[in-house]
Amino acid sequence: MSVTVVTYGTFDLFHVGHIRLLKRLRAMGDRLVVGLSTDSFNELKGKNVVIPFADRKEILLSCRYVDDVFEENTWEQKRDDLIREKADIFAIGDDWAGKFDELEDIVKVLYLPRTKDISTTELKTVMREINEEKVREAKNVATHLVDLLGKL
């Protein structure tokens, strides 16, 4: 009797928090299928994704824990997806705790602890800070050059 697990997410800037969740989900069954948020659905979710859907899908399909990926375009499609995929378990990070309990009549619903100290948002912040530092350095160099030229 094979056990299919289904989860959903954006998985932007793929990081260790994502991989640890997928690893745990895959260990719960024999097949893990991911509903991957499309770029348009991310706009609905209020998320500015860095990596486009096609690349995020390719990355997930390259992950040893993921067996298949389908598009997540709406909030309302989960029930149909779970039936189509013959899911036994719906599982997602506990930042969603309680949000999908209405699916309990067709699948086991689980909320797993998130990995601490890593998120796409934090990665974006670090990248922005690195970029701002580079801009400051470039401005300092430019100012120094102007000073030098002024002395010629």
Among 45, 86, 99, 139, the one annotated catalytic: 45
Residue closer to ligand C2G, measured from CB, 126 or 145 = 126
Does the annotation count 134 as an active-site position? no
Sheet with 68-72, strands from edge to edge, namely: 68-72, 31-37, 4-9, 89-93, 108-112
Residue carrying the six token digits 């100012």: 143
Three-state DSSP state, 100: coil
Residues in 46-105 that interact with ligand C2G by CB under 6 A: 72, 92-93, 95
For the question of residue 45 being annotated catalytic, the response is yes
In whole angstroms, the minimum distance from the beta carbon of 68 to ligand C2G comes to: 16
Which residue among 4, 13, 33, 37 contacts ligand C2G (CB under 6 A)? 37
Element (H, E) at 111: strand 108-112
CA distance 6 to 68: 10
Name 68's Cβ contacts closer than 8 Å, sequence gap at least 6: 31, 33, 34, 61
State the nearest-atom distance from the C-beta of 61 to ligand C2G, in Å. 16
Location of structure tokens 């860095």:
50
Q: Which of 103, 115, 123, 124 binds ligand C2G (CB under 6 A)?
A: 115
Report the interface residues with ligand C2G, using CB under 6 A. Answer: 8-11, 17-18, 21, 37, 45, 72, 92-93, 95, 114-115, 118-119
